[in-house]
Amino acid sequence: MAWKTKPSATIEIQRRTEPYLTQEMQARYTAELLPRYETKHASLLPILNDVQDRYGCVAYQAMIEIAQFLELKPADVLDTASFYEAFTTEPVGKYVIGICQSVGCEICGHQAILDHVRNKLDLEPHETTEDGKFTLLTLECLGSCDTAPVALINDDLHENLTIEKLDQILESLPD
């Protein structure tokens, strides 16, 4: 998750009137997810994934609603959500560029690729372009060290990256 700071004591949760967990979502989770697991808690990850996909983030209000639905403490949901880079508290861009920064990619030149994206899009990791098109992340090993350097763009893994290859990929993405 894209944590910049953790102002736990002073954080003000922005709330909206309509719930994140709609009746339709709760009915679907009850019918399809809860029966798969021995405990409600075990449904937490698939629900976080669903909320992230639907809203582009898991807002704090959504975490509270998920906690209520699963009869957990909000802190339990926050603990899990904050552990994974895949979950963000603010909406991400249409395309999330996740550049692997672990040692295999590091020795194969990940820094030049990361710097190129930072300069090209005027972005630092965990930031999103003003037009909402791109979010930049740095990720840990993506399990493809033999084709380093690699990056995930949304769900697609791009291997043996060069700056030229990455430019071609970025320019091919529709607005």
Q: Give the DSSP H or E segment for 63.
A: helix 60-70
Closest CA to 93 of 56, 137, 134, 138: 134
Q: Which is nearer to ligand FES, 66 or 105 (CB)?
A: 105
Q: Which residue has the tokens 């807002």?
A: 59
Binding pattern for the stretch 103-142 against ligand FES, x by CB under 6 A and - elsewhere: xxx-----------------------------------xx
For 21, the token pair is 């967990």
Element (H, E) at 26: helix 23-28
Q: Provide the minimum distance between the beta carbon of 98 and ligand FES in the complex, in angstroms, as a whole number.
A: 11
The answer to whether 148 contacts ligand FES (rule: CB under 6 A) is yes
Q: At what angle do helices 44-55 and 60-70 cross, to 10 degrees?
A: 150
Is residue 100 part of the contact set for ligand FES (CB under 6 A)?
A: yes
The answer to the question of residue 153 lying near ligand FES (CB under 6 A) is: no
Residue 40: count other Cβ atoms within 10 Å of its Cβ.
15
Per-position x/- string for 46-85, each x denoting binding to ligand FES as judged by CB under 6 A, each - no binding: ----------------------------------------
Which range, of 9-17, 66-74, 95-103, 116-124, touches ligand FES by CB under 6 A?
A: 95-103
Contact call for residues 141 and 108 (beta carbons, < 8 A): no
Binding site for ligand FES (CB under 6 A): 100, 102-105, 141-145, 148, 150
